[in-house]
Chain A
Amino acid sequence: MINFEEELKKFHPSLEIEDAEEMIYNQDLDDMADVLVRLLKDAGTGESDRHQTVRPDSRTPRN
């Protein structure tokens, strides 16, 4: 059995054309590709840093 009051809560006011600009500006456009690229870049930066910290040790002459 449908509860009218509960069902009515599912309906929200529709956006009008005047509100379109605000909606476009407020839309979160970040996608998974952005997240992945950021992660990969972060991972690449971390690796290069580790290489840079390891390099002086590698330069030490072997006995």
Chain B
Amino acid sequence: MKCYHCGCDLTEKDYCPNCGTDVSLYKKLMSLSNLYYNEGLEKAGVRNLTGAVESLHQSLKLNKSNIEARNLLGLVYYEMGEVVAALSEWVISKNLDAENNIADDYMNELRNNPTRLDTMNQTMKKYNVALKYCHQESLDLAVIQLKKVLSMNPNFIRAHQLLALLYLNSGNYPKAERELQKCAKIDTGNTLTQRYLMEAQHMQIPGEDEAKHISEIPSSKEVVQYRSGNETIIQPVHSMQPKGAVSMLSIGIGAVLGIAIACFLILPARIQAINSSNKDRITAISEESDSKSAQLTEYEQQIADLTREKKTLQSQIDSYQGTDSTVDSMNALMAATSTYLTGGASDIQTIAGYLEHVNPTKMGASATAEFTELYNSLIKLVGPRLASMYYRTGYSAYRDKDYDTAITDLTAAYQYDSTNGDALFYLANCYYEKGNTDQAKKIYDQVINDFPGTRKASNSEAKIAEINNAAN
């Protein structure tokens, strides 16, 4: 021990042998500090770490330079899992006494194992996260986090205590007790651990209320009460048989449970199977539909080809038909000419019959120049006679009011003899009588134009006026 005034080594006297300063109080403080250190050492020896921390803190309050006390405090902190606090104490210790300080060895040991130091730091961080979860009421997450912390730093007292508190809160008293037992093994003097432990143990034994409740059960003839070890067993004399309503209720609950199981377990599987089979069927139908569509398209193409072919053939047929009519007309003309030349000129009706099949205007371009010339020559020879024959029959039909026959014959009469105004006039009359006034007016106009100044023309004008008046 050195004099606080001059730094000289002190003796057993109460004053400094060098400067004479009274050091009695100073020496008492130093010895008190040592006393607390010894107390702390003893407590640490029996793993009363909390008590050791308190004593060593007292020692250091009296003498901050008590290096042994400070180093021991760091060691106790380290044992409690408080690495940062331990390091702090050792750093201060090293600063107060740089030579021959065991704190240097402790720190070197940590420095030489950076993984261990990092792991310790991680445990601190995770512990802080767990505490945060607790404040956010995410207790399950906090429990998981604390378990991780304790797997990395099994001596971390505060983590054990917090985990035990969470277990107590969730009513998991056996787990809480286990954690607290571990905690108590590390630090025997922690009052918080002891309090939680008492709570956990207290909650696991049957409470007084429960015991009271048991004692309050009347010992009637319906129950038999006996003790088996520490347990009081209350057994009914008669076994309870379910009554009617209870039976029905049980059946109902069973049915509901059965339906629920069917709904939640069986039905989904069935629905899935049906859906699967439906999907397969839809796929098959879809494939079939695709093939049918392809066939349909093919058939449509065939129909289009056939239609085109049919049109081509139809046009060919039409061309052949035209040829046939031309041939017929030629044959008819030849027959008519032959009848006329072979002396049948008097047989005008036969010639007329043949010439009915000859129509050069319908033949169009297919009629050759020779055919037309022959036709015109024959008409020039037999035309007047044909005209008079058709006029007679037509007029006779007109008189008989057979207007259809009259129209045909009178038309032919005017065709073979365009100077026959009477034929044209009676033809107009036929149309008029039939009610075809438009055609009648047209022919009456032709009569007026082609045969002006005649009686037929004036009669035609009268007829047109009559038609117009009737229309108005």
Contact = CB atoms under 8 A, between A and B. Distances in A.
A59 B418 CA distance: 192
Interface string B77-111: 00000111101100110000000000000000000
Interface string A24-36: 1001011111101
Contacts of B192: 10
Interface string B359-377: 0000000000000000000
Contacts of A15: 84-85, 124
Contacts of B21: 40
Nearest to B139: A4
Contacts of A19: 84
Q: How many residues of B sit at the interface, in one of the four size bands?
A: 35 or more
A4 B84 contact: no
A12 B88 CA distance: 18
Interface stretch (B25-33, B256-264, B282-290, B388-396): B25-33
B127 A14 contact: yes
Interface stretch (B45-53, B161-169, B440-448): B161-169
A31 B64 contact: yes
Contacts of B117: 17
Contacts of B348: none
A13 B128 contact: yes
Q: What secondary structure prevails in chain B residues at the interface with A?
A: helix
B199 interface: yes
Interface stretch (B55-63, B238-246, B329-337): B55-63
Q: How many residues of A sit at the interface, in one of the four size bands?
A: 20 to 34
A37 B63 contact: no
Contacts of B131: 11-13
B125 interface: yes
Contacts, number: 92
A35 B26 CA distance: 10
A16 interface: yes
Contact of B62 (A2, A17, A31): A31
A29 B121 CA distance: 25
Given A14-B82, A16-B84, A31 B168 contact: no
Interface string B121-136: 1001101100100110
A7 interface: yes
Given A14-B84, A16-B84, A17-B117, A8 B92 contact: no
A20 interface: yes
Given A2-B196, A36-B29, A31 B162 contact: no
A2 B85 contact: no
Given A16-B121, A19-B84, A33-B4, A8 B60 contact: no
A7 B165 contact: yes
Interface in B193-232: 195-196, 199
Interface in B234-258: none
A24 B4 contact: no
A29 B22 CA distance: 24
Contacts of B30: 33
Nearest to A19: B84
A53 B64 CA distance: 37
B158 interface: yes
Given A8-B134, A14-B124, A17-B124, A24 B60 contact: no
Contacts of A33: 4, 26, 29-30, 33, 62-65
A54 to B, nearest CB: 21
B91 A31 contact: no
A24 B88 CA distance: 6
Given A23-B88, A29-B92, A11 B29 contact: no
A27 B169 CA distance: 36
A56 B169 CA distance: 78
B165 A4 contact: yes
Contacts of B161: 11
Given A4-B165, A29-B92, 7 more contacts: A2-B165, A8-B135, A14-B158, A16-B128, A20-B88, A37-B5, A40-B26
6 contacts: A11-B165, A16-B121, A24-B91, A32-B63, A36-B29, A40-B22
Top-5 shortest CB links A-B: A31-B64, A15-B84, A4-B169, A14-B124, A13-B128
